[in-house]
Structure 1
Amino acid sequence: MAIVNVSDQSFVNEVEGQGTVVVDFWAPWCGPCKMLAPILEELSGELGDSVKIAKLNVDENPETASRFGVMSIPTLIFFKDGQPVDKVVGLNSKESLKNIVAKHQ
């Protein structure tokens, strides 16, 4: 499944539904965010349709970032059936992220 970009307006429709969704809270000026992007691309390719990956630019969408208490980026929040179930802050390895996703599927 391709990585989708979400906004304050589209967040509920794209994220708060059924299944497992990983939301990457990021910004274009963030170095670690840029390093995380290819890891998420690989993860998306490996996990296919079993998980949805969404990216939310915190500079353009402050309401959603504030709603989920995002204070540092990159922050990944893992949702299961619309509810946040896990959160990691900072750059993580693909294996670490796969393990977190597997825990919530």
Structure 2
Amino acid sequence: VNVVKVDCDDSPAIASEYRVMSMPTVMMFHNGEPVEKLVGLRPKNVYETLIERYAYSQ
């Protein structure tokens, strides 16, 4: 699992490309493609479940 943080103020083109309209926005990519997008703060277990869903699947 790789975690990447993008500052939308410093990189507005990336934010626009992925349609990030509010923060926090967490996007999960699998095999280089976006597969999940969570907008707003969520409990820790939501993020853990999301990582488990994709981290071990090919």
TM-score normalized by the length of structure 1:
0.51
Runs of 5+ unmatched residues, structure 2? none
Aligned-partner residue type, residue 60 of structure 1: D
TM-score normalized by the length of structure 2:
0.88
Aligned-partner residue type, residue 92 of structure 1: R
- Number of residue pairs matched? 55
Q: For residues 48 and 38 of structure 2, what CA distance do their matches in structure 1 show?
A: 12
Deviation of the 1:102 alpha carbon: 1.2
Report which of the two has the higher share of helix: 1
Greater relative contact order (Cα < 8 A, sep 6+):
1
2:6 to 40, 49, 56: 56
Aligned structure 1 segments of 4 or more residues deviating by more than 3 angstroms:
none
Q: What value does the CA root-mean-square deviation take over the aligned residues?
A: 0.7
The CA deviation string for residues 16-63 of structure 1, in whole angstroms up to 9 with x for no partner, is xxxxxxxxxxxxxxxxxxxxxxxxxxxxxxxxxxx1111000000000
Determine what percentage of the aligned residue pairs are the same residue: 36
Residue number in structure 1 paired with 2:30: 80
Q: For residues 11 and 44 of structure 2, what CA distance do their matches in structure 1 show?
A: 26
Runs of 5+ unmatched residues, structure 1? 1-50
